[in-house]
Structure 1
Amino acid sequence: MSPIAALRTAARVGPARLVAGMRLSAARPSLAAAARFSPATTMTRAFSVSAGRFGSGTTDIALSAKLQEELQYEKSEMAQAGDATPDFLKSFTEQGIWAINDVRGNDEVTLSRKFGDENIRIMFSIADIQQEDDYENEHDAEGEEEDAPPATALPIRASVSITKTTAPGAINVDMICQEGSFSIENISFYDDAKVGTELTAEADWNRRGLYIGPQFDTLDVAVQDAFDAFIAERGINESVAFFIPEYAAYKEQQEYVKWLGKVKSFIDL
């Protein structure tokens, strides 16, 4: 299990505790019982006060409390790590090769650089981190029944685009990043660079139906080796392959904490 999954599993409270909390709430006098001793206006007033603070549901308070517990735990873990930039990120940025474009709230991250007359972009998503947690949880359950080898972390997909300022077209490379190495799955070429690189619905639609090239492992071995060298020369190497999963985990943790805070604020209003 990954560090993120382990921390989350330890922090989260199971359904049994949540039900127990709801049962305690159920022990309070019901609205129907209160109506026997109080005017109808009293019942309406009590409901309106609660609704104004915690929405319209009877479960809002319990959910808010659980979100607060999780938020406090995650923040305490981040506080122990300190506010300093992680060493892996500091080392990567100090190389001065790749620029990191990370928009908070988005699940995609972009690395970009120039290489001669080429513009190179690598994109990856933290969504693969979620898939890794699900995969590891399934295999942990299987491991209780039989001895199994340690699960290898799921790979993270990366998409590379290469365009030239001196020529039309774009090369797109679909790759798998795992354990400090890249493996190429497919290489596509687009006559129109915009079609190959723009992240719009129109460009995505235009890409559909176009020939995307052969599967990489069906190419002649000598061609595969030449493409591997071509990619490595442009800085898509072991350093980047180690960085991508580390940064994906780092970003996912930050986004998760922000998500907890936003959802709790919404519930509380």
Structure 2
Amino acid sequence: MWKRALSAGCLCALRPQLTLARRHASSTSSVSSAVDSILLRSLKEHYLEVSKMSPPPKVNPPSPFSVVKGALDNDGPVLRRSYGDEEITISVMRLASIIPGGGDDEDDDGINQLFLHVDISKPGRKERLHFLCGLYPDAMGIHSISMRPTLKNSSSQFVRVPSTYQGPAFQDLEEKMRDALHGFMEERGLNESLFLFLQAWLYVKDHRNLMRWFKTVGTFINEHKAV
């Protein structure tokens, strides 16, 4: 009899706490749901806004360069061409992607300063010639030249850091040699004529990445909300 009364008393004492816990959980769930809905609405609005942006006029790459298949979906080479027995590939990125805040001048539209990774390889060679260049609407400058291992998976060469000596800084070379290297690049069509295409290509890639970002984040939030 005493044990039953004690047990009943304990249950009565715990019941209000359980009720409060349920109310708190319900309140937290309601707030979370409201926050998710606000975020999903914002993501959808921005997605629709970005989807209405007009793409730049279509620009073809200068002949004889061709666009690498699937380039928009990875960080590998964008353009390719053959020159004699040489295979030349070009990867591109914005200055702002390397230096935070770089290229933020409103007159630059954010993508008037580009960096190129130019790779020149030959059959049977274990190393390739690598140029890091700055590309502008009216000029292209060489920042560095190095020899790097030839990679079978070209999509990874964009981010690989060399571990061997990379040679002297370009500005430390004699003027005659610098001029000869610029002539070497010019002979292969590596000059400012690439700028308009690569600028338009980066715009399309950035637009596609932004659309994909809004969509994937929204999908994740919506799935989380449904759990």
TM-score by length of 1: 0.61
Q: Answer yes or no: is the 8 Å Cα contact 2:113–2:136 preserved in 1.
A: yes
Match of 1:25 in 2: none
Pairing 1:61–2:37 present: yes
SS of structure 1 residue aligned to 2:89: strand
Match of 1:119 in 2: 87
Pairing 1:176–2:145 present: no
Which letter maps to 1:170? R
Q: Which has the larger radius of gyration?
A: 2
Pairing 1:228–2:182 present: yes
Residues 1:200 and 1:165: Cα distance change in structure 2 (over 3 Å): closer
Q: Answer yes or no: is the 8 Å Cα contact 1:108–1:125 preserved in 2.
A: no
Shift of 1:70: 0.7
Match of 1:237 in 2: 191
TM-score by length of 2: 0.71
Match of 2:9 in 1: none
- When the two structures are aligned, how many residues end up with a matched partner? 204
- Return the structure number with greater helix share: 1
Q: Which stretch of structure 1 is more off in the superposition, 67-76 or 234-243? A: 234-243
After superposition, where does 1:147-226 map in structure 2 within 5 Å?
155-165=113-123, 167-190=125-148, 192-194=149-151, 199=156, 204=160, 207-208=162-163, 210-226=164-180
Which letter maps to 2:36? D
Q: Answer yes or no: is the 8 Å Cα contact 2:76–2:91 preserved in 1.
A: yes
Match of 1:92 in 2: 61
Shift of 1:103: 4.2
Q: Out of 232, 236, 260, which is 2:214 matched to? A: 260
Shift of 1:181: 2.2
Q: Answer yes or no: is the 8 Å Cα contact 1:101–1:111 preserved in 2.
A: no
C-alpha distance in 2 between matches for 1:264 and 1:105: 20
Shift of 1:169: 2.8
Q: Answer yes or no: is the 8 Å Cα contact 1:176–1:183 preserved in 2.
A: yes
SS of structure 1 residue aligned to 2:74: coil
- Where does structure 1 differ by over 6 angstroms across 4 or more consecutive aligned residues? 39-42, 44-48
Q: Quick one: percent identity of the two aligned structures?
A: 21
Structure 2, gaps ≥5 residues long: 1-18
Residues 1:156 and 1:92: Cα distance change in structure 2 (over 3 Å): same
Q: Answer yes or no: is the 8 Å Cα contact 2:137–2:196 preserved in 1.
A: yes
Structure 1, gaps ≥5 residues long: 1-38, 141-149
Shift of 1:198: 7.7
